[in-house]
Amino acid sequence: MKKRLLLLLSMLLLLGCSDKKNYEAAVLAEIERDQKTQSEKDYKVPPEKMVDCIVEASSKNMSGLFPFDPARLTAYRNYTKMLTLTQSPDPKKMLEELRNDFGSSKELTAARSNYVESHMECLSLFVANTEDEQKAEK
């Protein structure tokens, strides 16, 4: 019985890591697509640090109580799907799927808002830190 429980927990951990890694990859792709944002270029925000910050900040407002909660794993999958909407061959169909996955249009909008707010929060954090470092150098 203990072996089965250990096996089940191991599988859950692997799936959880996979879902989170896919979300991180989608966030990185989104950041790379948005490199036209001048402030990210001006302040030389490292994409990897930005990804870590966005994932951490947006995860705080996702469903699920802890990182490997099945609801959180589903949220990671849904957020990944949301960020890859523009690459879909049929965006209208995928948008409808996202509405169903999130439960409603309102929940989908809240998820997108959570992502955007997390992105802006992280960007402002990095900008403020860079400005502080520049003042300290002078």
Share of the chain above pLDDT 90, in %: 45
Q: Domain count for the chain, please give it.
A: 1
| The model's pTM | 0.80
Token pair 């990185």: residue: 28
User: Given this model, what pLDDT does residue 117 score?
Assistant: 96
User: Given this model, what pLDDT does residue 70 score?
Assistant: 80
- By residue range, what is the domain housing residue 61? 2-137
User: Given this model, what pLDDT does residue 8 score?
Assistant: 52
User: Given this model, what pLDDT does residue 16 score?
Assistant: 47
Q: How far apart (Å, rounded) are the C-alpha atoms in residues 105 and 84? A: 17
Q: How far apart (Å, rounded) are the C-alpha atoms in residues 104 and 120? A: 24
Low-confidence stretches of the chain (pLDDT < 70) are 1-17, 35-43, 138
Q: How far apart (Å, rounded) are the C-alpha atoms in residues 80 and 19? A: 8
Residue 46 phi/psi, 5-degree rounding, is -65, 125
Token pair 């019985």: residue: 1
Q: Measured between alpha carbons, how far is residue 31 from residues 16, 46, 47, 59, 132 in Å?
A: 23, 10, 7, 17, 24
